[in-house]
Amino acid sequence: MRRSFLFLLITITFSCMIYSCQNAAKLQQDIAYVNGRDVYIRHCQSCHGVNGEGLALLAPPLTDTTFLKDNKSKIACFIKNGISDTTLVINGQQYDGKMPDFNLANIDIAQLIVYITNNFGNKQGMYTPDQVAKDLANCP
């Protein structure tokens, strides 16, 4: 009896530890997501819309989950350097307009990417300032 009780206690302790670890990671992502939303409202929402729906053919939507997945390492460059002289095909539609450059800190870009890639139908998880730094080093 005593042995099984001890076993139960250890199992519960371990599962709690694992659970809280997962929670800590989720918490980090939630914090980034909420901060990213503030950055989005301030810099992106006017063109890309409250629901990431875009603005006619002037600004593309952010709901093309495949595009955002395939181009994940380019998103930081798009934000930091802007886009010009490039035609992007998003949701099967061609967009050839300009996007202005936003000189944001890596942490802001990372949080913004977390917000965009976990909203509007996307579900890509966490992204860190280190990953952003790596992406920016490889910008075309």
Partner 1 sequence: MNIRSILLLSLSSFTTLLISACSDQAKLPILGPREAVEIKNPDGSSSVDTLYKTIPAFRFLNQDSTVITNDTFKDKIYIADFFFTSCSSICPTMHRHMKEIFEDYKDNDEVMFLSHTIDYKYDKPSVLKKYATKLGVDGKQWQFAYGTKDSIYKIAEKDYLVAVIEDSTEKEIYVHQGWLMLIDKKKRLRGAYEGTDEKSVAQLKKDIAVLLKEEEEAK
Subset of residues 100 to 129 that bind partner 1, contact rule: CB under 8 A: 100
* CA gap 85, 96 in Å, rounded: 7
Q: Which is nearer to partner 1, 46 or 91 (CB)?
A: 46
Least Cβ distance, residue 45 to partner 1 (angstroms): 8
Helix, strand or coil for residue 104? coil
The answer to whether residue 46 forms part of the interface with partner 1 (CB under 8 A) is yes
The answer to whether residue 49 forms part of the interface with partner 1 (CB under 8 A) is yes
The answer to whether residue 90 forms part of the interface with partner 1 (CB under 8 A) is no
The answer to whether residue 41 forms part of the interface with partner 1 (CB under 8 A) is no
Interface with partner 1 by CB under 8 A: which residues? Answer: 45-47, 49, 55-59, 97-98, 100
